[in-house]
Structure 1
Amino acid sequence: MNTSSIEIIELVTGGDNSATPVASIVVLHGLGADGHDFVPIAQELDLDAVGPVRFVFPSAPVQPVTINGGYEMRAWYDIHPPGPDGSRAEDEAGLRASQALVQRLLDREAERGVPPGRTVLMGFSQGCAMTLLAGLRAPQRLAGLVALSGYLPLPHTLEAERSDANRNVPIFLAHGTHDPVVEVARGMHARDALRALGYSVKWHAYPMEHSVSAEEVVELNAWLLEVLGKD
């Protein structure tokens, strides 16, 4: 699968899509959503101090999702229902396919003139899982990873597969304490596992469900200005 096979929405901050971006933010949506989902959030951010920033909103392919009775929807990978002991079998083939697709999206930004060190990878829910999967394994150093309301996929492979270039990549990790879709414990497990491997994780918990809060947007804005303000 190449990037031309998926739908991509783009916008450049400052209201001028013809401006030359000095940074990029690739945003991965959650299960059943599409690239439009986080456009309003991006429009709430004030990154003028950085200069023109290109937001890239890809839409995941449409595929059957087992946990939803095989109903076809946009998904980065399949999700299986939990077993009797609460454990879940992960769709490793689907995760790996989308990992390769996300890496091609990152490479595409570099080809268009924004180096990896000026590119942030961001995702919500399923998109959060893909951000951690692909971002921590990306071969070139990224500006940062934003992981919202999700979890760490394929954790048993991370230590062996993680990229040396991104061992110190800044990570903004956030979760709702009342999340009924992805329990906050899964976000906390991701935080603890990443910190145990030496990653710099800024953890934020908010009194919300499976969503994004106004306070979260404010703190994310400040973090983005910090990581993108560095040369």
Structure 2
Amino acid sequence: MYTHDKHIIQAGKLAAHAKKAVVLLHGRGSTAQGILSLQRHLQLEDALLLAPQATHNSWYPYSFLAPMADNQPALDSALALVDEVVAETIKLGIQSANLYFLGFSQGACLTLEYVTRHAKRYGGIVAFTGGLIGESLIKSNYQGDFAGTPILITSGDEDPHVPLHRIEESVAILRNLGAAVTAEIYPGKPHSISADETLLANELIFA
């Protein structure tokens, strides 16, 4: 089992000129550089982009639906790394209300798990194919108030990794904590990010 080294790639605007910061979390087997390539399709011209790199290219070893203990200590280490990235953006003078998160697949699950454990008013959150983490969800882990933060969750209706029932459970918890959630489920969509999803992310979150 492993923990994560601190390796964060910065792109986009310098902090001094940025109106917002976006934390981007890559999927299993991918890289920080890979998720940063999405900036070509997203309205992020005024943003500082921060993409941490998972050690061994994976945030945790097993499925996000495995018992939480099976994914330790990697999962706690991943959550702590995201927390460090957030703390750095706050130090740079970017407030939580101008802080955005975006993740794909394993990175989308980690995104949702982090923000739901630290619910507050963020700029917006995009989870391309993901849900909250654990064999069953422990509601006491999730606290705070999203205060109307817009959250977009997208997925295919028969995704091989992320079952619809977990997205539905996650949406219910997010809404209960005051998030304005849009869940968009596409029939037959493969496990990837489509042009339609990035358009929706721009329209609902980044515009």
Same fold, TM-score > 0.5, yes or no: yes
Shift of the 139–198 alpha-carbon distance from structure 1 to 2, 3 Å rule, reads closer
- Residue of structure 2 equivalent to 1:71: none
Contact 2:15 2:48 in 1 (8 A): no
- Is 1:89 aligned with 2:67? yes
- Is 1:29 aligned with 2:29? no
Of 198, 201, 204, which residue of structure 2 is paired with 1:220?
Answer: 201
- Is 1:59 aligned with 2:53? yes
2-structure distance, mates of 1:19, 1:102: 21
Any idea what SS the aligned residue of 2:49 has? strand
AA partner of residue 89 (structure 1): P
Contact 1:8 1:58 in 2 (8 A): yes
Which structure has more relative contact order (CA 8 Å, sep 6+)? It is 2
Report the structure number with the largest CA radius of gyration. Answer: 1
Shift of 1:180: 2.2
Shift of 1:140: 5.1
Structure-to-structure mapping, 1:58-137, within 5 angstroms: 58-62=52-56, 74-79=57-62, 88-90=66-68, 91-137=71-117
TM-score norm. by structure 1 comes to 0.75
Any idea what SS the aligned residue of 1:221 has? helix
Shift of the 98–215 alpha-carbon distance from structure 1 to 2, 3 Å rule, reads same
1-structure distance, mates of 2:159, 2:137: 25
Shift of the 80–217 alpha-carbon distance from structure 1 to 2, 3 Å rule, reads closer
- Is 1:202 aligned with 2:182? yes
AA partner of residue 105 (structure 1): V
2-structure distance, mates of 1:221, 1:20: 21
Any idea what SS the aligned residue of 1:166 has? coil
- Residue of structure 1 equivalent to 2:43: 46
TM-score norm. by structure 2 comes to 0.83
Deviation string 1:35-57 (CA, Å, 9 cap, x unpaired) is: 01122211212345xxx211111
Matched positions, count: 202
Shift of the 102–88 alpha-carbon distance from structure 1 to 2, 3 Å rule, reads same
Shift of 1:197: 5.4
Of 166, 171, 176, which residue of structure 1 is paired with 2:156?
Answer: 176
Shift of 1:102: 0.6
- Residue of structure 2 equivalent to 1:8: 8
Contact 2:129 2:162 in 1 (8 A): yes
1-structure distance, mates of 2:34, 2:107: 11
CA RMSD of aligned residues (A): 2.8
Shift of 1:114: 1.1
1-structure distance, mates of 2:15, 2:177: 41
